[in-house]
Amino acid sequence: MTRIRILERSDMNDAQGKTYDKVKAAGGPVGGPYYAYIRNPRLMEASQEMGNTLRESPLSGVERQIAVLTAVRFWNAKYPWHAQVRGSLAAGVSQETVDAINHRKPVKLANPREQMAHDLAEELLEKKSLSEATYKAAEKLFSEEELVALIAVTGQFSMVSCTANAYDITPPADGAKLAD
């Protein structure tokens, strides 16, 4: 049960309404953790801009989404998992990879950059840092700009997941589910 009251458009103040309308018109997300972010329109706008910036980064959609799924699964965030599985499959992440991340099984990818996207996000979240070996290996695979984007997407989806978890934002019943 979602803990935060979901504001109807008619319940929003002027700043919230303008931000909501702008985001919705642009096709941006207005559900999930954005139910909370709309309380602070500047935060909602900044989060939208961060998401847009990271989607436009030089990372491939698959690389980005593998890091996203890894972060969301780390936090056991139900609503973001529901939303991001669909986006990940559309970006080209295989169902086998989605299932491995979901069931916390080893992820084995033929593409070294995709493998590193998972390994880096997982290590950063679990150990709160990167080993020198992981960092050096990532530097060989990614440009500085790409590596910054990879780390940032891991952080952004940690924030999204923490927000969804704190407010117990409930995904639709028919969506992708986290494994136990």
Asked if residue 115 and residue 87 are part of one domain, the reply reads yes
Within a 10 A sphere around the Cβ of 47, how many other Cβ atoms? 21
- Measure the CA–CA gap between 122 and 127, rounded to whole angstroms: 8
Structure token pair of residue 171: 């995904």
- Indicate the burial class of 67 (C-beta count within 10 angstroms; 0-12, 13-18, 19 or more): buried
Asked if residue 76 and residue 31 are part of one domain, the reply reads no
Residue 124 forms part of a structural domain: yes
For the chain, how many structural domains are there in total? 2
Residue 72 forms part of a structural domain: yes
Asked if residue 110 and residue 29 are part of one domain, the reply reads no
Asked if residue 23 and residue 97 are part of one domain, the reply reads no
Asked if residue 66 and residue 44 are part of one domain, the reply reads no
Residue 131 forms part of a structural domain: yes
The values of phi and psi at residue 131, to 5°, are -65, 160
* Residue 173: band (very low, low, confident or very high) from pLDDT cuts 50, 70, 90: confident
Asked if residue 69 and residue 147 are part of one domain, the reply reads yes
Compute the chain's Rg from CA coordinates. 17
pLDDT at position 117, please? 98
Asked if residue 43 and residue 113 are part of one domain, the reply reads no
Asked if residue 158 and residue 70 are part of one domain, the reply reads yes
Summarize pLDDT for 30-52 with one digit per residue, the tens.
989 999 999 999 999 999 999 99
Asked if residue 65 and residue 50 are part of one domain, the reply reads no
Summarize pLDDT for 110-120 with one digit per residue, the tens.
999 999 999 99
Residue 19 forms part of a structural domain: yes
pLDDT at position 71, please? 98
pTM value surpassing 0.85: yes
Residue 171 forms part of a structural domain: no
Whether the pLDDT of residue 170 is over 90: the answer is: no
Query: Which residues span the domain enclosing 33?
Result: 9-55
Listed residue (27, 36, 78) closest to 55, CA to CA? 27
Asked if residue 130 and residue 114 are part of one domain, the reply reads yes
Q: Write the CATH number for 100.
A: 1.20.1290.10
- The interaxial angle of helices 112-127 and 132-141, nearest 10 deg, is 150
Residue 98 forms part of a structural domain: yes
- Measure the CA–CA gap between 138 and 117, rounded to whole angstroms: 9
